[in-house]
Amino acid sequence: MTQRVELAAVMDRLAVDELITDYARAVDDAEWASYEGLFVPEGRADYRSAGGIEGRAAEVAGWLAESLTLFGMRQHLIVNRRLRFGQLEQDLGDTARVEADYVNPMRFAKGEAAGGVPDFVAGGRYAFGLVRTYDGWRFTEVVVEEKWRRLSERPLS
């Protein structure tokens, strides 16, 4: 591998990492237009394993916007990212797959006013499908595989 190819691979890894971070921030900060912009136009998300829906990114963003109003605080921690580049039309590196574990603590909105309402914490694994576009890396799909969840009787703070 030449230094130029190695540098391009590092740059792609950083861009994919930034996209995943942008995803977490968009969901945590309720930035639904930004969320939709992370996907290709036909991109899909699947939250069924966590009790949600599967569909086009715009449809899922609407569902998230409504359902996540239950939580006044959200914080996705996405770790242990495993990235693999693939091929599209004979060009190596135009697609990617990422599997990453997550822990997602959330505070119920009522708990902020009432104090002491249980916190909700979930964990699992994301599967991200990505493609390189003229605008940079974008998601073709996001699939959530929730593995566990719990309600804490005492607040995290």
Q: What is the pLDDT of residue 8?
A: 84
Residue 62 lies inside a defined structural domain of this protein? yes
User: Closest Cα to residue 69, out of 41, 104, 110?
Assistant: 110
Residue 105 lies inside a defined structural domain of this protein? yes
Residue 44 lies inside a defined structural domain of this protein? yes
Instruction: Give the residue-averaged pLDDT of 55-79.
Output: 95
Enumerate residues 6+ apart whose C-beta is below 8 A from 35. 23, 26, 27, 57, 61, 64
Q: What is the pLDDT of residue 111?
A: 57
- In tens, the pLDDT along 122-140 reads 999 999 999 999 999 999 9
pLDDT above 90 (res 63): yes
Q: What CATH number is given to the structural domain containing 85?
A: 3.10.450.50
Instruction: Give the residue-averaged pLDDT of 11-40.
Output: 97
User: Closest Cα to residue 101, out of 122, 124, 84?
Assistant: 124
pLDDT above 90 (res 40): yes
Token pair of 83 as six digits: 């990235």
Residue 110 lies inside a defined structural domain of this protein? yes
Residue 140 lies inside a defined structural domain of this protein? yes
Question: How many structural domains does the chain have?
Answer: 1
Residue 157 lies inside a defined structural domain of this protein? no
Q: What is the pLDDT of residue 115?
A: 55
Q: What is the pLDDT of residue 112?
A: 57
* CB-CB contact of 138 with 66 (8 Å): no
Range of the domain at 11: 3-152
Token pair of 146 as six digits: 């929730």
The DSSP call for residue 117 is: P
- Average model confidence (pLDDT) across the chain: 89
Residue 123 lies inside a defined structural domain of this protein? yes
Residue 34 lies inside a defined structural domain of this protein? yes
